[in-house]
Amino acid sequence: MTPLFYASRITGTGSAFPERRLTNNDLAQTIETNDEWIRERTGICERRISDLTQTSERNSSLGFLASQRALEMAGKTPEDIDAIFYGTCSPDTLVPSTACWLQMKLGAKKAWAVDLNAACSSFVFGLSMADQYIRTGQIKTALVVGSEVLSSIINWQDRSTSILFGDGGGAVVVERTPAESPRRILSSHLKSDGQLWELFYIQAGGSNQPVTPEIAGKNLDKMMMKGKEIFKVAVKSLADYAIEAIEANGLKIQDVDWMIPHQANLRIIEAVARRLDFPMERVLVNIDRYGNTSSATVPTALDEAVRDGRIQPGHTLLFDVFGAGLTYGSLLLRW
């Protein structure tokens, strides 16, 4: 194998959310649920929902704001970006990609831009890909985005899913650094298991089953989930992939300063922390305020902790995700 001369590191983070807050009590006005049940079973208190009559709250608009903030922190301009990796499962349009909408809005003229969909794992998959392109010297600077307008694919009559999700976007700037730089992405570990597709899917809306008024009336173009089954797989896979990442680097879980898991359910996060014997005080959580924002959970939780100073240079961070597909991934980095 050719020796690698480069590594990559995150130099800027940003996030953006729609204005409108939807509380548990708001949801209880339209479906049979209540604040206590949602808080106890999921840890969610409220989520943000895009007003799609406003162009400013579309997926690429949230991605745009988050990217601008990340570029500002990194001290970079849109012209510096070589590639955009846009993780999403709720794109503005199927064609063109949301990545291309963002490229246009930013004026990132030299960047090639691509969407990728590993559901809730998309951001970590995109970050891993950006890392590979940078390490091989093909690009110098990448923008990696995880952004969703999940409210557009929620069945609002289904209380087992509609209480869980929210809208939001996060972005990071990733730059080339010397291979032996102490501050860099250390490793990433990705996996997919299509056998488990039935645990979480959208039946219609692709070429399998185009949307007709009848299909839309039955909400077959919205998310369907087997919550209990996913819960069990999630706890085991998040723990397994955390261990894989730390062992690949000859580290112990105690060496991790901050774990940033996918925010699907606070009980999943707590169960993983227990399994790993990792203190919850060092797990970054934002599900209480934003719900599950799919590919946006990790970059938005990261951005929050970078900006409020919890994350400091030299800290070891563990990203740990799972999503529909199913997909799994972990990524270890030194900040």
Q: Is the distance from CB of 253 to CB of 242 less than 8 angstroms?
A: yes
Q: Which stretch binds ligand UT7 (CB under 6 A): 141-149, 208-216, 230-238, 248-256?
A: 230-238
Which residue's CB comes closest to ligand UT7?
Answer: 227
160 binds ligand UT7 (CB under 6 A): yes
Return the number of the residue (120 or 302) whose C-beta is nearest ligand UT7: 120
* Whole-number Å distance between alpha carbons of 52 and 56: 8
230 binds ligand UT7 (CB under 6 A): yes
* Binds ligand UT7 by CB under 6 A, chosen from 227, 243, 270, 282: 227
Q: Which stretch binds ligand UT7 (CB under 6 A): 4-12, 34-42, 133-141, 208-216?
A: 34-42
Encoded one letter per residue, x for contact with ligand UT7 by CB under 6 A and - for no contact, window 249-268 reads ---------------xx---
Please report how close the Cβ of residue 259 comes to ligand UT7 at its closest, in angstroms: 17
* Binds ligand UT7 by CB under 6 A, chosen from 12, 63, 166, 323: 323
Positions marked catalytic: 120, 262, 292
Nearest to 151 by CA among 131, 168, 175, 128: 168
* Binds ligand UT7 by CB under 6 A, chosen from 134, 185, 234, 238: 234
Return the number of the residue (33 or 90) whose C-beta is nearest ligand UT7: 33
Please report how close the Cβ of residue 161 comes to ligand UT7 at its closest, in angstroms: 7
225 binds ligand UT7 (CB under 6 A): yes
Please report how close the Cβ of residue 328 comes to ligand UT7 at its closest, in angstroms: 12
Encoded one letter per residue, x for contact with ligand UT7 by CB under 6 A and - for no contact, window 195-214 reads -----x--------------
List contacts with ligand UT7 (CB under 6 A): 33, 37, 41-42, 120, 159-160, 163, 200, 225, 227-228, 230-231, 234, 264-265, 292, 323
